[in-house]
């Protein structure tokens, strides 16, 4: 059921995801494609805000903070998984792997590589942590006001 808290959560986490993706894009080496990074992560933020945060408002401020941080890091997790799988399929269509087992191992290596690169981007992590906490608090306040 659509609520004001879900709508506000979706918009706020789309903004957090956009800011985090922009901060992460600044850490990428020159020549690495980044044109789809920001829009895809922003859409992930929209959906995660609606589904995860929007569905769990109403339990108090402390729970809103933890759910907000959880939502932010779920955005990062699904971005890592999505881009890792995309890269693995891209490489497999270029016949870089000898079999499906090698492709699966390469996908896991890509997840770890992308995860470490996100962990090394401290500005991105700060945006995810602080932005998620603030967005969670605002979603909780909106839920208190309009429900």
State pLDDT tens for residues 85-134.
Answer: 887 777 777 777 777 788 778 778 878 877 777 778 888 889 999 999 99
- The average pLDDT across 5-32 equals 87
**Residue 42: its pLDDT value, please?**
94
Torsion of CA 38, 69, 71, 11, to 10 degrees: -60
Could you tell me the sign of the dihedral formed by the alpha carbons of 126, 78, 65, 1, in that order? positive
11 CB burial (10 A radius; 0-12, 13-18, 19+): middle
Burial class (CB in 10 A: 0-12, 13-18, 19+), 2: exposed
Are residues 140 and 60 in contact, defined by beta-carbon separation less than 8 angstroms? yes
**Residue 40 burial by CB count (10 A; 0-12/13-18/19+): exposed, middle or buried?**
middle
Q: Which of 35-39, 64-68, 103-107 has the lowest mean pLDDT?
A: 103-107
Q: Rounded to whole angstroms, what are the CA distances from 80 to 28, 57, 61, 107, 146?
A: 14, 26, 29, 11, 35
Least confident span in 30-34, 50-54, 72-76, 106-110? 30-34
Q: How confident is the model at residue 17 (pLDDT cuts 50, 70, 90)?
A: very high
Q: How confident is the model at residue 19 (pLDDT cuts 50, 70, 90)?
A: very high
Computed over its alpha carbons, how large is the radius of gyration of the chain? 17
Average pLDDT over the chain reads 85
Under 8 Å CB-to-CB from 120, ≥6 apart: which residues? Answer: 27
């Amino acid at each position: 059921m659509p609520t004001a808290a879900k709508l506000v959560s979706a918009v706020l986490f789309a903004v957090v995801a956009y800011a985090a993706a922009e901060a992460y894009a600044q850490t990428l080496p020159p020549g690495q494609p980044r044109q789809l990074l920001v829009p895809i992560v922003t859409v992930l933020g929209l959906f995660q805000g609606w589904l995860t945060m929007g569905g769990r408002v109403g339990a108090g401020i402390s729970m809103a903070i933890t759910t907000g941080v959880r939502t932010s890091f779920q955005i990062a997790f699904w971005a890592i998984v999505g881009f890792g799988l995309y890269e693995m399929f891209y490489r497999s269509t270029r016949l870089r792997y000898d079999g499906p087992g090698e492709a699966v191992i390469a996908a896991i290596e890509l997840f770890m590589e992308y995860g470490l690169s996100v962990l090394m981007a401290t500005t991105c992590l700060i945006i995810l942590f602080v932005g998620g906490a603030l967005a969670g608090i605002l979603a909780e306040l909106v839920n208190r006001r309009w429900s």
